[in-house]
Structure formats: C-alpha cells, structure tokens
Chains A and B, each alone.
Chain A
Amino acid sequence: MNHSRRFFLRGVGGIALGLPFLEGLSPKHVYAQSIPKSPFAIFLRQANGPASKHFGFGVYKQHNEEKFWPKPSPNIFNNDFNLLEGFSARLTNKDYDSLGDNECTVQGRVFELLDAYLDQLMLISGVEYPIYPGEAGCGHGGNVVQALTGSWRRDPHSRCGTQLPRSESLDYLLQRTFAKEEDHLYLMAGKKNYLGECMSYGTNGIDLTAFVNPLVAYEQVVSAGGGMDGGSSGLNEEVRTRLLRREESINDFLKAQFDSLLRNAALSQDDRRRLLEHQERIRSIELEITNPSYACSDDPQRRALLEAHTPAGLSSPGLVIDGDLVLETARHHIDIAILAVLCGRNRAVTLQIDDGNAGTTRYSRPDGSWMENYHFVSHRVATHSSIITSDDNAMYWDHHEVDKHLARTYKYLLDGLREAGIEDDGIAVWFSEMGHGPFHAGHDIPYIVSGSLGGQLKTGHFVQLPQAYKHKQRYNGDARGVPPNHRLVLNTLGAALGLKEDDQVTPLRTFGDSGDPSNSDKPAGYLPELLGPTPLGADT
C-alpha cells in the first residue's frame, strides 16, 4: 500500500512547538554554512553490499559492467590509473563525452535515480574494515558487528553469528549524548532470520532490539511514557498523584524481587548481567514517570495508516519475504524516523533493511517477477551454504535491480527530509557492511552521505579514497600508516555531528575499539578527503 508522505508528516510543526528542534522547521538553504545546533543522523543499511565491479578490483572485473559507482572523467580514470592515489570527482549527470576534468557522471549508474540530490551527496568508495578478512564463514557475522561500531567482536573465539562488538554503535552514542538514551530508535524492515537485527549496539556492545512493526515504533515515538499510559502530563494533580503512587508501588515491588533474585548465589555472571539490565529498565521508567517530558503527538490518521500496513517479517510464517513489502515497511519506518528527529525525540535513527544476509527476501524485477532471494543473488549462487560463485550474469543484473530499489528508498528518505525542511540539519547515510561483489568483501565498503552539516562535510562529490597501504604519510597524526578504514569515516561523521572526546572539547577522533591491547590497529582521526570548507567540530 502506498501512502502519502506529506500526509504522514502533516501537523508535525504544531506538535514540535517549544521543543529544541523548532528552529529545524524554518526554511533552510541546502548549503547553510552554519553548523546546526541539533544535528541528527539517519542510517539506512543495505545487506550484502552493492553490485559493483569497481575499477579493476576483484575477480569479477572481467564480467559485467559497472552499474553502481559513477564514471570518472578521462583525466582521472584511464588505462594508467592507479587507485592507490585516489581522487575526488564532481558529481554530474552529463554525457560522458562532455565531462570536464575532475568530474564524473552518474548516467547509467544507480545514482542516476538520485539526480535531484547530487549537489548534497558524497559518495565514498574505497573504505576498508580494519580487521579483514574474518574467519572463514564469518563474513556476515564478522562484518555486521563492525559496521556502525568501528569495533571488533567482543570474544574472538565466539562462533559465527553469535558475535557482539566490544563497544557501542555511532547511532547509540549520538542518541545517548544528545537525547534520551532509552529513546534510542532502531528500526528494521524485514524478517529477523539469520543474525536478526545486527546493526545497532548499546553501551559495551550490548545487542539492541529493533522494531519490525512501524506501528509499534510509532507508538514508542508518540508515547511520552515509553509504553506507559500515554503520558500523564494532561492529568489533574490529584489523579496524577494517585497514578504516581500506583506506579511507584509496582516499581518498588519489582525492584524488591530483583534485589532478592540477585542475592541468589547460584546465578552466573551472565545471569546477573541480564537481570541487572532488566532491573535498569525499571529505573528508567521511574525517571520518566516523575519527569514527563515531551511527546511527538499521536495523530489518529497517521496511526490508521500504520494499522493498515502489514509489516514485512510479520506478515506470515512463510519462508519467503516479499521484497516489495520489505521496501514498503522501510518507507513507513523512514517516515517515523523523520518524525522522531523532527520533534526532537531522536538524534539518531538506524533503519536496517533485511536481516543478516536477506536470505529470505525476494525482491522484484522491473517486469514484476521475483528474483531469487537477495543472498543468493548477491553471491550469484543457489544455496546459502556456498559462496562458490557461478558465472551468472543474470544475477548480477538482479543485484543491480536491488541496488536500484535501495536507491529509491534512500531517495524517499531524502525527499522526506527535504519536505520537512531539515535536509541540511543532519545527515542521511546509506551504507552496507559488505563491499562490492559476490565475495562480500571487507573492502570497498560503500558510504553514501547526504548533507554537509553546515559545510563540515564535502558534498557533491564522488570520493575514491586512496588505497593507501603504501602511502604512509598521507594521514596526519596517529592515523598514519593505515588504510582508510571505516573507523575513520565514523569518526569524521561523528565529529561533524558534534560528538566530542572525553575532554568535551576535542572533536570525536577515537571512536571504535579493535580490542587490540597494543592499540596498533586503532587509528584515530579523520579522513581529510571527506571534509568540507567549515572546520570539523567547530563550536558555534
């Protein structure tokens, strides 16, 4: 079921009155050169990486034509081109023959679908995970924990698919730093099969639960009490006092039970950890009860729209998930994400599309037929257990169609941010934890970033990062001598979003955790190639 975005966001301005984000509702120029006071980030994750042959990497370079990354001008990319140097090319939609120097064209590539946004996009190619390859067979499990955390897995001996990272993800850090930690919003479109939700992690890398059903997510966003009785701020004092007493008595009752349980010597450390986390939720509720704050207001028509939607992943117990339904659910989630940042509840939202490998999602082709499940398609195989690839060019084109589906979904997000007038107050990041091609490599991880955050980030460019193994002097500071890994991307984005080091002065530069005691694998700092004219992390 298609729905009207304009309708969904209707009335948001009214409910945002008095909230910190009010200024976000005023008209914005796309290239505002003042850093937003309340920037946000919305992360949109694609499984399995894009269908890209890139410029000569991978065994698939002899097959297929490049359909993902833009085509650079001849002065950048010719037969003598060496990717070790990298480049930055202005994004255009020109004919290839009319490209000027240091330009590239999106014609015939996925990004043609984002033509209206080329000026505010930065396409980042050539990023690598710091620890790659993972153990055989742990590609998905090993990569998902790194994607937004910049962290390697907590236990190096954990089995495939059971890994947790050592530290939190960037979205969670943003939320807990700038807004209420317990309001962290993690959304998922698709069925929680293999690896389930696997992008967003809390403090110390604890796994978080994603909302599959947009209606439930919406209820969280519009509920002041976090699932309570819809907030108590409208009650008269006597009624409110009675309500508080009742809630306090239940909380006291439960806390006493937890205290008693935790005295049980037969519990393991892990048992205690889970009980303490559970008990902590009660404390959070207590704070909310006694200090009701804001609410994105409920709108019956918005609610009805969501009630009419059957979310992907909940639609049936069947083995196949309709990719069109996944995308429809994703669009609902996007609306909720925009609503949440617009009314000031959230400073970061992550939308994970599909589970670990999208192994049950079947996307559609332009003629309406179903392709194989996306995991098969991405590997060009016919079983989940093999990554031995077949020379199946048809599946390459299917994979390209999936990329186009995702590009349209990302455009839906950008359209919504533009419609709400906040497109340059935050960033929208389309990424995958996988690199190009059937091997799901840990290099060439794609990051598509929209928004300059007041000119801190470069926009309107395709940035091919240098494959800098041999270029030890390229990076300043302690980032020297390492390839451009994704931790540096996350630090760059985090710093632009206003995150600081522990001294509360230095822009974020050490996000992530390799788990390496020697710290030799923990580069800090930023990627200068991604920076715009405004100093990174400048105070406003």
Chain B
Amino acid sequence: MYYLAHKMLTGCSAMREHPWALFFGIILAGCQGIITPGATHITQEEEVIIHPPTPAPGEPIIPVTAVPQPLRRLTHQQWLGAVHYTLQLPDIPDFDLRNFPSDQEDNFLFGNDPQALGVSPALFDTYRSRASAIADYIVSSAAHISSIINSNTITEATVQAAITTLGRRAYRRPLRDAEVTSFMNLYGTGMNNPGEDLSPEQSGLLLVVRALFESPYFLYLAIPEGDTEGPTKLDAHTLATRLSYFLWNEPPDATLRNAADTDQLRESAELDTQTSRMMADPRFQSVIYNFHNTALGGLGAFSTQAPDLYESAKNERLYFISDAVENDLSWKDILTSPHTFVNSTLAEIYGITGDFSENNFKKVLLPATERKGTLTHISFLGGVPHRPVPRGVWLSRMIGCNFIGSAVNADPVPASEPGESRRDIWEAYTEVEGSTCIACHRTKINSFGFAFESYDERGQHRTNYGPDFSDSPVNTIVQNILLDGQLHSAANAMELADQLAEAKSTHECYAKHLAEFALGRPETSLDEGLIQNLRLLSAEGRPIRELIRYIIQSNSFRIHQLDPEHKDI
C-alpha cells in the first residue's frame, strides 16, 4: 500500500503538471485506482514492490505509462530453441539453422528491432521447408512418434493429446478448443490424402507437425490480445512469455507456466517471486552479460588483436558482470569497482602478479593507482577504438548517450613533430578556436578520450607514448568534461569514472539502454516515465536486479497500449 500513498503524492501531482497524461490512458493507481479511458480491462489496484526515489525539487514527475508492445517474430536462434522446447526429444538436429536467411540488421543498439524482423519470401520458404523437415524427422522414426504422442499407437485420442501438449509448448499458452479442432481436421485431411511411403496416420501427424511450426502463433512472440485499442493488461501467458524471453531468451519453464495457468502471475507479488527466481538461474547470466556487453560498446576492436586476447577479455567481462549482478551491485558500482577477473594473459597486461593460468579466471583487485571501474578494464579499453578521439566518441555515446555527429571535410591529421604527443596533435587538430569542430570536441569528445590516454590499444597502462611520439609523456588531465550541463575537470580516467558514476546523464543513459533492452525496441516518448524512474533508482545506487524487477513490475512491461496517435513505433 506504500505504492498508493506514493502515487497519491506523485501521480496526482503529475496529473496537474501533465494534464495530457489522461489522454495516454496513464495508469495512476493512487488517484483513483487505474484510469483506463475507454477500456475496462484494468481496474485492479496493484501492490507495488519497488518504490523509485522522488525526483529532485523542480523536476517534473513523469508517469509510467502503458506502452505499445509490438508483435515480435522469433529470431533464428530463438526459433531453434523453441523447436527444441516444443519437441523435447534428445538429439534434435539444428535443421540447418546456419542457412537461414540472415535477419535484417538494424541500427537498434540491441538488435532485433521488431520492425526489422519481417518474413521475406526466402524466410517464408525456409520456415516451410524446415517445418517439413521437422515433420519428416518425427514421422520417420517410430521412437520419435512414440515420444511425441506418448503412446506406441497412433489413434485420434493419442494424437489429440499430443496436439494439446505440443501446442501448449509451441504457442506458449494452452490451445483453445477451436484450435485443437482445427488441428484434428488437419490430421483428418492427412489421413485421407496420404503421402507416398507413409501410412494414413503418419500422413496426418505429418500435417499437424508442419502446421504447428508454420503457425504465426509459433513464429511470433507474446502477441497481445485485445478487443479495443485501449490499454490492455497482458494475460498471464503472454506475460510469462515476455518475462521469460526478457530474462532467459527462452520459452517459459514449467514453473512459470504453472504460475500463468493459475493466473497468479498477474499478481505483483507472484510476478516478483518469479522474477527473482529466474534471475537466480544461470540462463539470466548470459542475457545480462549480453546486455552489458552491448551497452559498453562490445568487443569489436579486438578484431585487430590476438584471438586469445579477445577470448580473455570476453571472459573478463562475463565474469565481472555476472559477479556484480549476483552480488547486487549497481551501475554506479560497476563504473567504480576496484575489482576485475583475470587469467594469466590479462594479469600480465594488468601487471598483477600471482598464480594464474589461461583457463581459470580469478577475482582480483585492480592496481589502485592505475585503474578503477569497468571503463578501465582491458575488455573495455581494447574493445573500443583506442585513439583518443574515437575512444572519446565511444565513451560519450555509450555511457552518456550523447549525440555525436561525424566530422566532414576535415583535412588530414598532421604527422607528429618531434616532441609532440598524440594528444598534442589531436588537440591542435580538433580544438582550433573558432572552428566548427571545437564545439563538440572540447567538451563532449576529447575530454573523455584524453583522460583515458594512459591506456594503449590493448588496455595496458602507460606513462608515455613510446617512440612514435618521441616518448612524449601521457597527459590525462582534462578540464572541460561536460556532464549534466556543467564543466568538470579530472586528473585521470579514475577521477572521470567517479564523476561519471555520479552524473545524472550517465544513469539516464543506462536507464534508456535497460528500458530498450527490456521492451525490445527503440525508446519512444512514451517511455519517459519508465526511464526517469530507472534513472532515479540507478543514481541512488540500487542494484541492477532491483532495476530489472522494477521494469517488470511497471505498467510499461505489463500493459499493452497502442500509441495514442496510432503511429508505428
């Protein structure tokens, strides 16, 4: 009930400041339960589990709205996972997944923007041919048939039971009676029109399996059901699917299915219980690593490094993020943590002595005078471009979500003169007073990059630039870091990490990334309330798992609402 009190204070003031909120069908439980203009779906008052801090005085409170939840086609990897999950047979082949037409790439940071996941003619053909292959795989083996129908005899009764079981897994919800009937009609058609070298029963079963895997209910995830355009609270099975693909990138397991079957999952407490359970599962580690790896810029720049360094850096990030999340650290902690994980390769670069091997990673303290936080990890420093300006651009974009355009029509970078450091050259090149370059470079790019000049392209610490730059000393002092509209200074990357960890823009950016990842699409203006609350939680140092629990509890996750202007997102 704290939630209601909280919303009494915040939600109603939001209404005063944003009268348009009603237009969006905003859910303001504290004011009068849940307001759903034109809809009767949402009337239940929810007990809210996590309470975001109140914004600073003067900052408007933006309500967390229901948002559009687009139809999402399975990615190819998810398709294979769903096939395995549905059939639950040992030694299932991958049905030539490698030769699926590639998904359209998009510019969405986390990939797989629903709008890019269409079904091209080639993909349709692939789905159809693979559905045939799956069906052939089933009916060509008596053992497979027995496993699927849970009997040694194919009868209408055993087939119907199989349809119910397989359909529930494939559609990620129980089949409706009419759907079972449709499948049985298909079975009958197959019986009456058998294929060559197949019995009527096999032919019937073959059609059923094909249809199951060509069905849009199999190929598209979490389709929200609704008979109006107003806000619609997700049904329990859609919510379970959404939750499971967010936290595990897999279909719901039996426990989650059961919670959906009883409809308990729609209760906040049960949803939170399931969330916590799933976050304790190893499958969550992989997902949360992928999120952070992307949010930190990936490991792409290791393409020019030795392959074993790439593998070591990947594991450093994997172990570090997993450990941080498991120990309930926050984004702020990650940016300032004194720890990392190393094997012998990384230990050598870090200059850490001890008993290390290539394959075992150990949690260690970073050299305190040289490093602090994940931005000083080899995985970050070697994973993104190493020259100061590109590195600065990367930091500014990924950590601060600053928009940095590309330079155009620039003259070539001059060669270094004796005694000139790399920083000197780039500074002179990009910070010419009166030039168009200086506006972005000085405050949004160079200061970020120069502070990290004490690390080379492998992420090794250095104090001078080496012979290419006359052994000139590295200077990491920066005085024009633009954070939250104010200029800051820092002596080095460690001080900058501290400042980033305290900056509102850093947490705003992290919140945006997390919201986009959870919602599976680029942000829209309707996400402002969610992002604001995530930012407040993050800035307060709340654990990452708590932020995730908050998202899952939020209206944005649990309620579907078409864009009020009917724009496509």
Contact = CB atoms under 8 A, between A and B. Distances in A.
Interface string A279-297: 0011011000000000000
Question: Most chain-B CB neighbours within 10 Å: which of A268, A285, A319, A373?
Answer: A268
A162 B108 CA distance: 8
Interface in A392-441: 439
B413 A271 contact: no
A207 B118 contact: yes
Question: Most chain-A CB neighbours within 10 Å: which of B113, B389, B410, B411?
Answer: B410
B104 to A, nearest CB: 5
B122 interface: yes
B407 A388 contact: yes
Contact of B216 (A59, A135, A278, A387): A278
B446 to A, nearest CB: 12
A270 B70 contact: yes
A268 B406 contact: no
Interface in A125-164: 133, 135-137, 139, 141, 159-162
Interface string B297-314: 001111110010010000
A213 B102 CA distance: 10
Interface string A352-364: 0001100010000
B193 A246 contact: yes
A211 B98 CA distance: 12
B406 A161 contact: no
B216 A275 contact: yes
A265 B385 contact: no
A233 to B, nearest CB: 16
Contact of A265 (B99, B186, B226, B394): B226
B92 to A, nearest CB: 21
A439 B408 contact: yes
B106 A162 contact: yes
Contacts of A15: none
Given A209-B104, A209-B120, A253-B186, A266 B406 contact: no
A274 B71 contact: yes
A538 interface: no
Interface stretch (B53-61, B206-214, B512-520): B206-214
A425 B217 CA distance: 47
A268 B211 contact: no
Given A227-B128, A253-B182, A242 B303 contact: no
A386 B389 contact: yes
A254 B216 contact: yes
A388 B116 CA distance: 31
Contacts of B394: 385
B71 A271 contact: yes
A373 B107 CA distance: 21
Interface stretch (B18-26, B256-264, B471-479, B559-567): B559-567
Contact of A220 (B122, B215, B217): B122
B223 A136 contact: no
A281 B124 contact: yes
Contacts of A216: 99, 101, 122
B189 A249 contact: yes
B225 interface: yes
A256 B310 CA distance: 50
Interface in A176-201: 182, 184, 192-197
A388 B105 contact: no
Given A160-B107, A249-B189, A208 B120 contact: yes
B115 A270 contact: yes
Given A159-B107, A253-B186, A319-B310, A246 B207 contact: yes
B128 A228 contact: yes
Contacts of A227: 124-126, 128-129
Given A268-B563, A270-B70, A275-B71, A162 B107 contact: yes
Nearest to A155: B568
Question: Most chain-A CB neighbours within 10 Å: which of B193, B411, B563?
Answer: B193
Nearest to B206: A246
A243 interface: yes
A268 B70 contact: yes
B107 A250 contact: no
Contacts of B411: 59
A387 B412 contact: no
Contacts of B81: none
Given A208-B120, A216-B101, A246 B190 contact: yes
Contacts of B214: 250, 254
Given A275-B216, A281-B124, A385 B393 contact: yes
B203 A246 contact: yes
Nearest to A387: B406
Interface string B172-213: 000000000010011001101111100000010001001100
B141 interface: no
Contacts of B126: 227
A148 B224 CA distance: 38
Contact of B122 (A211, A243, A266): A211
A228 to B, nearest CB: 7
B390 interface: yes
27 contacts: A159-B522, A197-B102, A209-B120, A212-B101, A213-B98, A216-B99, A242-B194, A243-B195, A245-B189, A246-B189, A249-B189, A254-B211, A256-B182, A268-B68, A270-B569, A271-B70, A281-B119, A383-B390, A385-B393, A385-B394, A386-B393, A386-B407, A387-B408, A389-B413, A390-B412, A391-B413, A391-B415
Given A207-B104, A266-B562, A386-B385, 12 more contacts: A59-B409, A136-B405, A162-B108, A196-B102, A196-B105, A246-B207, A253-B185, A275-B71, A285-B124, A319-B310, A360-B303, A388-B429
